[in-house]
């Protein structure tokens, strides 16, 4: 049976280190890391995510600012707020919660965030740095960054000679995960909906990262014995055994089957999910150190 990678425990270690670094920065420079989260509209899931981010930021000793704008906010108004936050010295990280209402161009909003405050890692400058191997100065998107930390809890930091397959080519997870693994000297293949014989490809991999948004798509017989599996998926499926209309959360991997084959695997929930917020705090802490002219901690 596979070792279950405890994302909650690793996330707690990251946020503890963030808290210590934030306290030390404030004591030595008077700078308190500041994180601003912007949400437009009343999407219930987004509100939960924003509340969780604010709660964690405050627990880490950050200045936590939340801007909640009405659903009919126009793009000019949102861009105006972003510009105010860009020039506010008390704010070191800016996050705009996605999705945005249809009248707003999310891409334009993301590119309006100052790269040095882009703690989501979505600005073209940060994307470009990551894709050219500048992992020390880039802000890396939080989910793949957290996935790499989890990988490094069960594998040596240098992944030279390892074969990795990333299933999914999104800008948020798949592509940055490819670049992180490549920077760690793994040999990486990015698979997607048009990949031929995906099960056979996965069976060649020492590391499988599933990020496709399809519940339990990756079957147990896709996994090479002894591989490490990182399941980024978060999918709700019907759970009639829990009662009428009930659902349960599953990943992109058939966990019960894969657990019998893999050497290590992340569960859903409790795997990659907690790491996403933890790495957001890490990015904001790094941004504050850079703004204060101090060497940032590594996570």
pLDDT tens sequence across 49-107:
899 999 999 999 999 999 999 999 999 999 999 999 999 999 999 999 999 999 999 99
| pLDDT-based confidence at residue 155 (cuts at 50, 70, 90) | confident
Q: Where are the domains of the chain?
A: 30-119, 141-273
Q: What is the pTM of this model?
A: 0.95
Q: Is the pLDDT of residue 158 over 80?
A: no
Q: Are 276 and 142 in contact (CB under 8 A)?
A: yes
Binding site annotation covers 147? no
Q: How far apart are CA 48 and CA 271, in angstroms?
A: 18
Percentage of the residues of the chain whose pLDDT score is greater than 90? 89
Percentage of the residues of the chain whose pLDDT score is greater than 70? 100
| pLDDT-based confidence at residue 242 (cuts at 50, 70, 90) | confident
Beta strand spans in 26-140 (E): 34-40, 63-69, 93-96
Can you say how many angstroms the Cα of residue 278 is from the centroid of all Cα atoms in its chain? 9
pLDDT for the residue numbered 61:
97
pLDDT for the residue numbered 75:
97
Binding site annotation covers 168? yes
Binding site annotation covers 64? no
Which CATH superfamily is 141-273 part of? NAD(P)-binding Rossmann-like Domain (3.40.50.720)
Q: What is the mean pLDDT of the segment spanning 184-208?
A: 96
Can you say how many angstroms the Cα of residue 214 is from the centroid of all Cα atoms in its chain? 18
The rounded mean pLDDT for the chain is 95
Domains 30-119 and 141-273 agree in fold: yes
Q: What is the mean pLDDT of the segment spanning 128-142?
A: 95
Residues annotated as catalytic are 53, 97, 120
pLDDT for the residue numbered 186:
95
CATH number of the domain located at residue range(s) 30-119 in this protein:
3.40.50.10860
pLDDT in tens, 121-131: 999 999 999 99
Task: Give the SS3 label for residue 257.
Answer: helix
| pLDDT-based confidence at residue 240 (cuts at 50, 70, 90) | confident
Q: What is the mean pLDDT of the segment spanning 6-33?
A: 98
| pLDDT-based confidence at residue 44 (cuts at 50, 70, 90) | confident
Q: What is the mean pLDDT of the segment spanning 222-228?
A: 97
Q: What is the mean pLDDT of the segment spanning 97-121?
A: 97
């Amino acid at each position: 049976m596979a070792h279950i990678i405890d994302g909650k425990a690793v996330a707690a270690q990251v946020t503890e280190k963030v808290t210590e670094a934030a306290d030390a920065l404030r004591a030595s420079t008077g700078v308190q890391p500041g994180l601003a989260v912007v949400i437009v509209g009343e999407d219930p899931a987004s509100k939960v995510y924003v509340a969780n981010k604010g709660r964690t930021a405050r627990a880490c000793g950050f200045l936590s600012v939340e801007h909640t704008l009405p659903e009919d906010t126009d793009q000019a108004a949102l861009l105006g707020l972003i510009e105010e936050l860009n020039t506010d010295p008390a704010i070191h990280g800016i996050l705009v919660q996605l999705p945005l209402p249809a009248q707003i161009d999310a891409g334009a909003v993301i590119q309006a965030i100052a790269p040095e405050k882009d703690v989501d890692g979505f600005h073209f400058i940060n994307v470009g740095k990551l894709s050219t191997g500048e992992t020390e100065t880039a802000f890396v998107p939080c989910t793949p960054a957290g996935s790499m930390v989890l990988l490094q809890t069960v594998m040596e930091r240098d992944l030279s000679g390892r074969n990795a397959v990333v299933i999914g080519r999104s800008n948020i997870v798949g592509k940055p995960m490819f670049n992180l693994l490549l920077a760690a000297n793994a040999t990486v293949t990015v698979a997607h909906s048009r990949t031929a014989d995906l099960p056979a490809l996965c069976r060649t991999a020492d590391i499988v990262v599933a990020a496709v948004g399809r519940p339990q798509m990756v079957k147990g017989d896709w996994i090479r014995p002894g591989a490490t599996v990182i399941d980024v998926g978060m999918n709700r499926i019907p759970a009639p055994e829990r009662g009428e209309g009930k659902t349960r959360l599953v990943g992109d991997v058939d966990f019960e089957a894969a657990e019998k084959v893999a050497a290590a695997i992340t569960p859903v929930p409790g795997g990659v999910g907690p790491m996403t917020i933890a790495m957001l705090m890490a990015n904001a802490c790094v941004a504050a150190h850079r703004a204060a002219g101090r060497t940032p901690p590594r996570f």
